Structure 1
């Protein structure tokens, strides 16, 4: 039990603060670090006989979950777009209009190099790995949400952290409902791509 708590604190608290402290050295390596950790977490899951591997690919009732995702996304994304337009008009659709190639490339690679590793680490791995020390799935949901936001401190602004707390709560709850990594990856990719499109992407890149 103590070893699991130590691992959790080291991986999800100490590591993000270490990266933040040495951000000038790690800025260009953030995505490779994320992918390496994601691969390590995936390997740990696959080596664990108690882990139900089907969670990594099953797609049961996907139509129902996608509809639920869109019912949440459409009204709240519309409201957020309006807020950005009114409060930060200089950011609204900045990437699609002024840097279209960067925007397109980001939308293409973001789900692969960022969303998939994050969902393996913060949802699939976290919810399974720490079940012994956090028997309540709502406790795991709450703590995974908190450390997910904490990890985004590396971007050096409070907006990224708040956005990530909200997103982490949504993705964690969806994972509890579905026990499906692919479903949560799609929801995360939809929200993330929207943020980069509407103008909030500037808060989700490293500033040194």
Structure 2
């Protein structure tokens, strides 16, 4: 019981209090320090408490992963392209057409230095650490997606919150199915890179 109480307090601090605090105005260096030590704490808990080995499983079903990810990407591409065509046509594919070097650089930096840490925290750490607190499989997925959306509250954009909630559900389902940080990170990177490519990067914090 005490262990569960500690986990609930820990969950609140890491996934609610800290993200919400980032939406409040105070010095950026303080936010960076909080974020840094928060990430260090997560890595420590994964290694020392959850006994995570950070090894790529040898039995991953790559063919099924690529197939399902491609199908979902096609759906995302159609919906977001139509949205940009209707709502913000001036920015449709603007970066890839006019700043291709920036486009390549952002795809690289985002994929390796943003996506993977996010997935370590919001999928690997969250599910290994807190899944036992939830009796319902769907409840833990919805809570995870909600907290992932909350992590983006500092953008102060309703559409961003909605997109990250949907993304959170997709990523949670993938992690639940594969138990692979690598696969869910690849999926996350693909969808995020597409949003930047199609022209929705500015609202998601990408330079343009």
Q: Please, what TM-score do these two structures have when normalized by structure 1?
A: 0.87
Cα RMSD over matched residues? 2.4
Listed one character per residue, the Cα deviations across residues 6-29 of structure 1 (whole Å, up to 9, x for unaligned) are 11111111101111102x632896
**In the aligned structure 2, how far is the partner of 1:67 from the partner of 1:193?**
18
- Give the distance between the partners of 2:104 and 2:183, measured in 1 at CA: 23
> For the residues of structure 2 that align with 1:183 and 1:97, how far apart are their CA atoms?
29
Distance 1:140 1:17 in 2: 20
Change (3 A) 1:141 1:181: same
Q: Following TM superposition, where does structure 1 have runs of at least 4 consecutive aligned residues deviating by more than 4 angstroms? A: 27-30, 32-36
Task: Kindly state the Cα deviation for residue 149 of structure 1 after the two structures are TM-superposed.
Answer: 0.3
Write the mapping of 1:9-158 to structure 2, written as runs, cut at 5 A: 9-22=12-25, 25-26=27-28, 37-48=38-49, 51=51, 53=53, 56-58=55-57, 60-158=60-158
Give yes or no for contact 2:22–2:31 (8 Å, CA) kept in 1: no
Number of equivalenced pairs: 203
Q: Normalized against structure 2, the TM-score is what?
A: 0.87
Shift of residue 131, structure 1, vs aligned partner:
2.5
Deviations 1:27-54 (A, max 9, x none): 8966x865654443232111125x4536
Return the match for 1:3 from 2, 6, 10: 6
Gaps of 5+ in 1: none
Once the two structures are TM-superposed, the CA of residue 137 in structure 1 deviates from its matched residue by 3.3
